[in-house]
Amino acid sequence: MRDVAIIATAQSKHVRAASTLNEVELIQPVIHEAIEQSGIGRHDFDFTCSGSSDYLAGQPFSFVMTLDAVAAWPPIAESHVEMDGAWALYEAWVKIQTGQADTALVYSYGKSSPGDLPRVLSRMMDPYYEAPLWPTSIDFAALQARVAIADGVTSEAQMAEIANRSRNAAASNPFAQLTSSPEVADLLSSEYLAEPLRKHDCAPITDGGVAVILAAGDKAREHCTRPAWIRGIDHRADGHHINFRNLCVAPSIGIAAEKAGVGMGPVEVAELHACFTHQEPIIKAALGLDESTVVNPSGGPLAANPMMAAGLIRLVEVANRIHSGEVSRGVAHATGGHALQHNLVAVLEGEG
Amino acid sequence: MAERVAVVGIGQTKYTATRGDVSLPGLLREAAFRALEDAHMTFDDIDCVVVGKAPDFFEGVMVPEYSLVSALGAVGKPIFRVHTAGSVSGSTAIVASQLVEGGIHGTVLTIGWEMQSCSEAMWALSVTMPFQQQLVAGAGGYFAPYIRQYIARSGAPDDTGILVALKDRQNALLNPYAHLHEHDITYESVRDSIMLWDPIRYSETCPSSDGAFAMVMTNEAGGDAAAAEGRQPAWIHATAMRSEPALAAGRDQVSPQAGKDCAASVFKQAGITNPRKEIDVAEVYVPFSWYEPMWLENLGFAEEGTGWQLTHDGVTARDGDLPFNPSGGVLSSNPIGASGMIRFGEAALQVRGMAGDRQIDGARKALGHAYGGAAQFYSMWVVGSDKP
């Protein structure tokens, strides 16, 4: 495998509704900032890959217009995934592995604000048996939370602690949408949204985007003083129908973690794509993390959850901490689908 | 050192306006099982599934691959979804091939599909967005002005498009999977069909189809094993993708630069210096008849302004020296999200010698081509009977 690193990153300031910006206007400054930071010329990337969702944009081929944000003239080698940007990064990483590229620009974005996001996400379910019932993403997550509590994986009190810890941690994250939390006792006395989930258990609805620059080998060292090397990366899917799955466990995360080599060394920091509080212990267990790992120091998706970008942001938050020298080894997790169905795990390391 | 990649299994459904007898998973499994059977494999042999289709709005299912994981045997495996406009399932095939080429997986299943009977694609493409120009009349309405510009520039005879449509629809009669089997088609019937978007007539337009196409790709060892059992693989010689913006000053939509760059790249990587001579057969994305002469020029098979002469001279016919779309092409079958992969896969079938009645004798090197968006996204591959 070729050595590939994240050498530059940028994010938008994540907000509930970027009402005055369209997707191009939202992502263009973010892409520009990442390119500037890398010191690579804007026409010098060997490959560009992005992730977004037509259903969020309310438009077929919505990514076509967003191509305007990357100055694809003269023409570029480019691709797009209808998945979180973490998978766009994966495609770029594969491209670099083939030897057809040494550098890549990756970006993703989501504007959830124009629609009713939990209802929109119900369209992601099986079209014959589930989608006709219009269960929202929160209804679906609540089913998983119920099972997790019943099986002793977590409790409402622990979930409130996770919400409190995450949002207070986000106070130091300049991009976060929610940056403080009421006390745990106050959280627990609030109304249920979908029992056992309360509002604090759910990630906020967010508009935002993220951009990442990848480079291989010496190219990475040339453009970054402390590259965040992708030592392992893998993604796996579980089945869709919840009656075929034990919702308390995420076997696909375990497989991806093993393939990515999570257990090959200490995990100083982990950024987990847990959009609901009860998912954090499920992901931690599947990754085999113990209490020595700092989880979601950025605040995680509970502090800002731009759809299609929140997974890639997990890699960015780990990479940033490696770039700064704060940590030497960390794990990033990204998810797609309902109830942790599709999962990507990456191990990032600094040198020396 | 990149791994050599072989296509060892191909499966497709019969294309039709409405496949009312199967569900979405059922449609995909039909193509997938045929590809697996062709490859002498089962789902257990597959390391990863790579899927592509046109916009989710066409079936009204958001990221449908999640509910297809079990049906595609992908539980516990990676499943990957590519989305790059009309070029999508060509791009999907390329992403699948790169997972093998990069040494990440040994055997990959890739599938492209569309169930267009679930919606009206033309209007799904014509939604009104704030601050964006509305497409109003679907893809044909968008492309017609550029076709008129091509005619004005090249001086091509008015009936060039009729000849292309007639050829492709007659080719389709040899392809049991083709959607349109118009046994009574004639030059006159195409000419007399209703004008939809001048100069594109009804019979010069692609149909709306349901269908799926699947391929199994393996590393060199897998290709060698298939060959040793007498099952000819299609070896991938080169792949390329290029994109350019929908709107850019100086952009030529008649012969877009991204298409020229993509063709130049794929031919160079494949060691091809004279495409007209070295490519034996091409499956090229021609959704409206006039795109045959336009792509002949854009791909470098003909000098600018002369592509139509090849069509008129019969060069692109089955018995010509550069057959274009012996499968009948997009003009005869168009499940949008599979149409690119059908081009790639039909090219592979040709160099495997497994194209049945539509086989071109002696085809050893073939081009698969797809394009999309405002003629701005391109994906291409060159496959051969011999190892690259």
Task: Give A-chain residues touching B246 at CB under 8 angstroms.
Answer: 64-65, 67-68
Q: Is residue B131 part of a domain?
A: no
Q: Is residue A154 part of a domain?
A: no
Q: What is the pLDDT of residue B82?
A: 96
Chain A closest-CA separation from residue B366 CA (Å): 22
Q: What is the pLDDT of residue A92?
A: 98
Nearest residue on chain A to B138, alpha-carbon basis: A60
Are A54 and B59 in contact, with CB atoms under 8 Å apart? no
Do B219 and B318 reside in the same domain of the chain? no
Are B282 and B322 in contact, with CB atoms under 8 Å apart? yes
Q: Is residue B332 part of a domain?
A: yes
Nearest to A60 among B61, B99, B124 (CB): B124
Q: Do B79 and A237 touch (CB under 8 A)?
A: yes
Q: Is B340 a residue whose pLDDT tops 80?
A: yes
Chain A closest-CA separation from residue B246 CA (Å): 7
Do B275 and B356 reside in the same domain of the chain? yes
Give yes or no for B360 touching A (CB within 8 A): no
B 59-98 residues inside an 8 A Cβ radius of A: 59-64, 66-70, 74-85, 91, 95, 98
Q: What is the 3-state secondary structure (H, E, C) of chain A?
A: CCCEEEEEEEECCCECCCCCCCHHHHHHHHHHHHHHHHCCCCCCCCEEEEECCHHHHCCCCCHHHHHHHHCCCCCECEEEECCCHHHHHHHHHHHHHCCCCCEEEEEEEEECCCCCHHHHHHHHCCCCCCHHHCCCHHHHHHHHHHHHHHCCCCCHHHHHHHHHHHHHHHHHCCCCCCCCCCCHHHHHCCCEEECCEEHHHECCCEEEEEEEEEEEHHHHHHHCCCCEEEEEEEEEECCCCHHHCCCCCCHHHHHHHHHHCHHHCCCCEEECCCCECCHHHHHHHHHCCCCCCEECCCCHHHCCCECCCHHHHHHHHHHHHHHCCCCCEEEEEEEECCCCCEEEEEEEECCC
Do B215 and B314 reside in the same domain of the chain? no
Q: Do B63 and A127 touch (CB under 8 A)?
A: no
Q: Is residue A58 part of a domain?
A: yes
Give the tokens for residue B186.
């004639």
Task: Give A-chain residues touching B127 at CB under 8 angstroms.
Answer: 58-60
Q: Do A55 and B56 touch (CB under 8 A)?
A: yes
Nearest residue on chain A to B132, alpha-carbon basis: A65
Q: Is A116 a residue whose pLDDT tops 70?
A: yes
Nearest to B62 among A124, A238, A241 (CB): A124
Q: What is the mean pLDDT of residues B170-189?
A: 98
Do B54 and B145 reside in the same domain of the chain? no
Nearest to B241 among A79, A82, A336 (CB): A79
Q: Do A120 and B251 touch (CB under 8 A)?
A: no
Residue B2 pLDDT class (50, 70, 90 cuts): confident
Do B55 and B86 reside in the same domain of the chain? yes
Q: What is the mean pLDDT of residues B180-209?
A: 97
Q: What is the pLDDT of residues A150-161, one digit of tens each?
A: 999 999 999 999
Q: Do B70 and A22 touch (CB under 8 A)?
A: no
Q: Is residue B60 part of a domain?
A: yes
Nearest residue on chain A to B70, alpha-carbon basis: A239
Give the tokens for residue B309.
């002469």
Report which residue type is found at B96: A
Q: Do A72 and B243 touch (CB under 8 A)?
A: yes
Do B378 and B276 reside in the same domain of the chain? yes
Q: Is residue B84 part of a domain?
A: yes
Pick from A102-106, A277-281, B139-143, B178-182: least confident: B139-143
Nearest to B98 among A94, A251, A255 (CB): A94
Q: What is the mean pLDDT of residues A10-39?
A: 96
Q: What is the mean pLDDT of residues A173-201?
A: 98
Q: What is the pLDDT of residues B65-103, one digit of tens each?
A: 999 999 999 999 999 999 998 899 999 999 999 999 999
Q: Do B244 and A55 touch (CB under 8 A)?
A: no
Task: Give A-chain residues touching B256 at CB under 8 angstroms.
Answer: 75
Beta bridge partners of A330: A269, A348
Do B335 and B290 reside in the same domain of the chain? yes
Question: What does pLDDT average to over chain A?
Answer: 96
Q: What is the pLDDT of residue A64?
A: 86
Give the residue numbers spanning the domain of A77: 4-113+205-223
CATH number at residue A218: 3.40.47.10
Residues in chain B, overall count: 388
Q: Is residue A324 part of a domain?
A: no
Q: Do B70 and A241 touch (CB under 8 A)?
A: yes
Task: Give B-chain residues touching A238 at CB under 8 angstroms.
Answer: 69, 75-76
SS3 B209: coil
Q: Is residue A162 part of a domain?
A: no
Q: Is residue B341 part of a domain?
A: yes
Do B56 and B181 reside in the same domain of the chain? no
Q: Is residue A34 part of a domain?
A: yes
Do B193 and B215 reside in the same domain of the chain? no
CATH number at residue B28: 3.40.47.10
Q: Is B1 a residue whose pLDDT tops 60?
A: no
Please tell me the distance from the alpha carbon of residue B57 to that of residue B52, in angstroms, as a whole number: 14
Q: What is the pLDDT of residue B127?
A: 74
Q: Is residue B35 part of a domain?
A: yes
Q: What is the pLDDT of residue B136?
A: 61
Residue B137 pLDDT class (50, 70, 90 cuts): low
Instruction: Determine which of A2, A64, A128, A259 to mutate to test the interface with B (most B C-beta atoms within 10 Å).
Output: A64
Q: Which helix (H) or strand (E) holds B294?
A: helix B291-298
Q: Do B62 and A235 touch (CB under 8 A)?
A: no
Q: Do A127 and B55 touch (CB under 8 A)?
A: no
Do B36 and B104 reside in the same domain of the chain? yes
Q: What is the pLDDT of residue B139?
A: 84
Q: Is B125 a residue whose pLDDT tops 80?
A: no
Task: Give B-chain residues touching A336 at CB under 8 angstroms.
Answer: 63, 66
Q: Do A64 and B85 touch (CB under 8 A)?
A: yes
Do B145 and B78 reside in the same domain of the chain? no
Please tell me the distance from the alpha carbon of residue A38 to that of residue B21, in angstroms, as a whole number: 53
Give the residue numbers spanning the domain of B85: 6-120+211-228
Q: What is the pLDDT of residues B289-339, one digit of tens each?
A: 999 999 999 999 999 999 999 999 999 999 999 999 999 999 999 999 999
Q: Is residue B320 part of a domain?
A: yes
Q: Is residue A157 part of a domain?
A: no
Q: What is the pLDDT of residues A260-304, one digit of tens each?
A: 999 999 999 999 999 999 999 999 999 999 999 999 999 999 999
Q: Is A237 a residue whose pLDDT tops 70?
A: yes
Q: Is residue A38 part of a domain?
A: yes
B 110-169 residues inside an 8 A Cβ radius of A: 124-125, 127, 129-132
Q: Do B67 and A127 touch (CB under 8 A)?
A: yes
Q: What is the pLDDT of residue A306?
A: 98
Which residues are CB-contacts of A4 (< 8 A; sequence separation ≥ 6)?
A: A93, A96, A97, A214, A215, A216, A220, A229, A230
Q: Is B353 a residue whose pLDDT tops 60?
A: yes
B 228-257 residues inside an 8 A Cβ radius of A: 240-248, 251, 256-257
Q: What is the pLDDT of residue B135?
A: 62
Please tell me the distance from the alpha carbon of residue B344 to that of residue B352, in angstroms, as a whole number: 13
Nearest residue on chain A to B59, alpha-carbon basis: A127
Nearest residue on chain B to A93, alpha-carbon basis: B102
Task: Give B-chain residues touching A92 at CB under 8 angstroms.
Answer: none
B300: left (phi over 0), alpha (psi -120 to 50) or beta: left
Task: Give A-chain residues touching B98 at CB under 8 angstroms.
Answer: 94-95, 97-98, 100
Q: Is B249 a residue whose pLDDT tops 90?
A: no
A134: left (phi over 0), alpha (psi -120 to 50) or beta: left
Pick from A226-235, B51-60, B269-278: least confident: B51-60
Query: Tokens 């296509």 correspond to what residue?
Result: B7
Give me the number of domains chain B comprises: 2
Instruction: Determine which of B24, B28, B75 to mutate to test the interface with A (most A C-beta atoms within 10 Å).
Output: B75
Q: Is residue B237 part of a domain?
A: no
Q: What is the pLDDT of residue A48?
A: 98
Do B325 and B271 reside in the same domain of the chain? yes
- Examine the predicted complex and report whether its ipTM is higher than 0.90: yes
Closest among B263, B253, B148 to B199, alpha carbons compared: B148
Nearest to B78 among A55, A63, A236 (CB): A236
Q: Is residue A41 part of a domain?
A: yes
Task: Give B-chain residues touching A94 at CB under 8 angstroms.
Answer: 95, 98-99, 102, 104
